[in-house]
Amino acid sequence: METKVLKPTAENIREAADIIRKGGLVAFPTETVYGLGANALDAEATGKIYAAKGRPSDNPMIVHIARASDIGQLTPRLSEDIVTLIDTFWPGPLTMVVKKKDIVPSVTTGGLDTVAIRMPDSETALALINEAGCPIAAPSANISGKPSPTKAQHVIDDLAGKIDAVIEGEDCRVGIESTVVDMTGKIPIILRPGILTAEDIGAALGKKVEYDKSLFARPKTAGTLGSLSTGDEDIKNAGSVAVAAGENKDSLDGGFGDDFKPKSPGMKYKHYAPKAEMVVIEGQRDNVKKEIGRLKALNESIGNKVGVILFEEKAFIEAAHDLFADLREMDKEDVDLIIAGALSDNDGVGFAVMNRMLKSAGYNIVKV
């Protein structure tokens, strides 16, 4: 299959919409990350998304709409809280999980009786959805498990020859995926943190918003570094990656076993992963910097290529924008080890970035 690369002109938007209507796949930019779109109401078409990405079939997809009023096509009931969030945050990086109508195929929702819906804040995305005349299911436009794409080239690198077209639009200005909030219960529950925080949503609703408990859990294997060594004793082994011994966070059983069924995208514990081994250094800022410098020098002394991710202490918005792009750049550079400095997760956006960073590292954490 030849993948067309289309500029976001009116004519090309019409061509891309026609591909969607005919059951094809089109990648397109949103304000968060690039999405891989298909007609959300066509089970065969959405099935192609799973195949192109290598995505687990139980991982639900987000359905994108062009007008807030279109949500009524997909869910039987809108609560007052849902209407408030629509009025406050749409179009924008907020996804709401609601009960689905039968018109939404189970393949789109990963077999759940709920559907995740959002209205993106992107002129190109809204034009495509509107022109297609149908809601568009669109997870991130990447190979499943890799860092999400924030540039058209990222999509091309992963999916060229597997999808029909890519709309080569603007780079994504947010850089991490939307906040996902479960609106099916009495208390809104954030399933995936994002640039819109619990505080933002709670302020709009005038009530408490909680985080899903899985966001605070660690797999039982957290802190084990696979092929990484845990100190200087293995440094003689050429090609090994040396990582400082440290006190790892307590491991919790967060339900990350084979029977774990995500209620929204982004809940799998190993996600957004680069090719290289990755470790997150956590602790007091000066200690983190010293440990990163020590590990970098140690690994370079045995011939390993090292990439470092260390954002300014409170630059949470910048970190959200740059994290996935930085990981993909390090993939291109074929680094052997990525060392990342942890951000404070006391800030809502910092918590969202740390969620992505820890999943990228497979919860390989060293405390200093």
352 CB-near residues (< 8 Å, 6+ apart): 176, 179, 193, 194, 195, 197, 320
pLDDT confidence band for 71 (50 / 70 / 90): very high
pLDDT reading at 261 higher than 90: no
Neighbours of 199 (CB within 10 A): 11
What 317-322 contacts at long range (C-beta under 8 Å, 24+ apart), as own/partner pairs, is 317/195, 317/349, 319/343, 319/350, 319/353, 320/174, 320/175, 320/176, 320/195, 320/349, 320/352, 320/353, 321/150, 321/173, 321/174, 321/175, 322/175
Give CA–CA dist 331/360, Å, rounded: 12
Q: Per-residue pLDDT for 218 more than 80?
A: no
Is-contact 196 92, C-beta < 8 A?
Answer: yes
From the list 135, 10, 19, 124, the residue with the least C-alpha distance to 68 is 135
The label of the residue with tokens 């359905």 reads 63
Are the C-beta atoms of 352 and 197 separated by less than 8 Å? yes
Which pLDDT score, from 0 to 100, does residue 183 have? 98
Strands 26-28 and 365-367: unpaired
What pLDDT sits at residue 138?
98
pLDDT for position 359: 92
Average pLDDT of the chain to the nearest whole number: 90
pLDDT at 236: 36
Note the pLDDT of residue 4.
98
Instruction: Give the pLDDT confidence score for residue 230 in this predicted structure.
Output: 40
325 has a pLDDT exceeding 60: yes
Query: Would you place residue 347 in the very low, low, confident or very high pLDDT band (cuts 50, 70, 90)?
Result: confident
- Give the Cα separation of 61 and 16 in Å (integer): 20
- pTM over cut 0.85: yes
Residue 239 reports pLDDT greater than 70: no
| Residue 269 binned pLDDT confidence (cut-offs 50, 70, 90) | low
**Among residues of the chain, what percentage have pLDDT more than 90?**
80
SS3 category, 162? coil
Domains of the chain, earliest start first: 4-211 (3.90.870.10), 215-367 (3.40.50.11030)
pLDDT at 219: 66
Cis bond leading into 91, ω under 30°? Answer: yes
112: left (phi over 0), alpha (psi -120 to 50) or beta: beta
Average pLDDT, integer, range 129-158? 97
Written as six digits, the tokens of 129 are 């959805």
* More confidently predicted of 108 and 227: 108
State the pairing for strand pair 337-341/277-282. parallel
Asked if residue 227 has pLDDT above 60, the reply is no
pLDDT band at 330 (very low <50, low <70, confident <90, very high): very high
Asked if residue 30 has pLDDT above 70, the reply is: yes
Q: Which of 201, 179, 207, 175 is nearest to 191 (CA)?
A: 179
What is residue 243's predicted lDDT score, i.e. its pLDDT? 57
Task: Centre a 10 Å sphere on the Cβ of residue 247 and count the other Cβ atoms it contains.
Answer: 12
Residue 19: pLDDT band (50, 70, 90) is very high
The better pLDDT of the pair 222, 131 is held by 131
